[in-house]
Amino acid sequence: MKASDARAMTVDQIDDEVLKLKKEQFNLRFQRATGQLENTARVRVVRRDIAVLKTIARQKRSGEPMPAAAAAPARAKPKRTTRPKPPAKPQTKAKSKSKTKSKAKPKK
């Protein structure tokens, strides 16, 4: 479901749709638990639809103005620039560590 479709609904219609989606989510959980779920992506879609509907219902109940993104077309993303690399550290000669075996003390 698109957010623009949900914004056209009344709060009661949104509540009914949330209830319907929660029942579907319940059934999908059981299908997944029993190994009968074929479309696993549907779980994620239903969960997100519930979140979108709840958010829009909250906005309508509180009288918040609708986000500008809903009214205005999407704008182009700014181009991403790469960060300059930090200057390389001067390499120093590594100190060679001689691997000497510890000499065991003779037993008395």
The domain in which residue 18 lies consists of 3-66
Position 93 in a domain:
no
Say which amino acid occupies 26.
Answer: F
* Cα dihedral 53, 50, 69, 77 in deg (nearest 10): 180
Say which amino acid occupies 4.
Answer: S
Helix ranges, 8-40 (H): 11-34
User: Phi and psi of 75, rounded to 5°?
Assistant: -100, 160
Whether pTM > 0.85 for this model: the answer is: no
How large is the average pLDDT for residues 89-97? 71
Number of domains in the chain: 1
Q: What is the pLDDT of residues 45-61, one digit of tens each?
A: 999 999 999 999 999 99
Position 17 in a domain:
yes
Query: How many angstroms separate the CA atoms of 51 and 20, rounded?
Result: 13
Here the CATH number for the domain that contains residue 33 is: 1.10.287.310
Radius of gyration of the chain (CA): 30
